[in-house]
Amino acid sequence: MSNGEERKSRTETAINKVEGIDPNYLTKYIEQDTSLDALKEHRTVPRFKIIQNTTDEDLKENFGVGSVIVRPGDALICKKQGSNIDNFEFVPLFFFVEYAKWRDLKGNGPMILERSHDPSSEIAIRSKDANTRKELYAGMGEDTSESDRMYYQYVEHLRFIGVIYGDHPLVGTPVTLSFERGEWGQGKNFISAVSLRRQVIDGKSSTVPLWAQVWKLKTIYHAPDATRKWYGFQFEAADPSIIKPEEAESMQALHLEFKELFDKQRLMVIDDEVISPDEEAVKENNEF
């Protein structure tokens, strides 16, 4: 079996439901269990990754370009097969903006060198300005060829932490929907759509809490010109577009949990450490 086939087999096995085991056998242990208490103060959340044309060959072979996986773990969320693209449902629970300084792909060490949530920080200010979001490494100048030059990149990430919803093997799994670089504009569109979601209560139009909204997501191909081609997320309201009444208490509790972790600076998104965000898909784009 090849490495690709072995990884695919592990992924498919990982999301299969366990058969023939009484799900209640742990009940007598759970009430007094404290094994997870230490983990409650720290939370790392994986993120959706769309397979692009320039993604790792094993991932392209296993899942197909245009498909969505959760990384790390590489569990399949929705698959693109020819012109057919699956969709999935997502409930956003908590939103925040994160600014990050990424190293060059040709460099060494961690991909993310610094993070900040402060909009007045240097990272944030540089990420918002097309003239400063790329910084040439020290010691490199006109005598360094363009192919050998290395740049730091300052990136603004629009983050929605939520859960997979509906009829899906990974329903309830916390995942981050993140928009940056070429997808930053779509992230702003999603923010607007979420903010405008309304429902009629007692004859009056009211906003719908973030954690009560259900959205349908799938991938869409973008090719604005010869050098910029990538798959991004397309969204629309699911049907039904809000959660079930019996789910409201638990969804609100999750929202408050993530908010508390964020306020204590103990919430972190696990970004793809192999390649910087959308660098594989968006070569040069000064429009965002």
Residue-wise pLDDT for 174-213, tens only, equals: 999 999 988 999 999 999 999 999 988 788 899 999 999 9
What confidence score (pLDDT) does residue 253 get?
A: 97
Residue-wise pLDDT for 124-140, tens only, equals: 999 999 999 999 999 88
What confidence score (pLDDT) does residue 125 get?
A: 97
- Which residue stretches of the chain have pLDDT < 50? 7-18, 275-288
What confidence score (pLDDT) does residue 134 get?
A: 92
Residue-wise pLDDT for 48-66, tens only, equals: 999 988 888 999 999 999 9
pTM of the model: 0.81
Quick check: is 150 in a domain? Answer: yes
Quick check: is 172 in a domain? Answer: yes
What domain range includes position 82?
41-269
Sign of CA dihedral 150, 156, 162, 168: negative
Quick check: is 200 in a domain? Answer: yes
The HSE-up count of residue 65 (CA atoms within 13 Å, CB side) is 15
The domain total for the chain is: 1
Quick check: is 3 in a domain? Answer: no
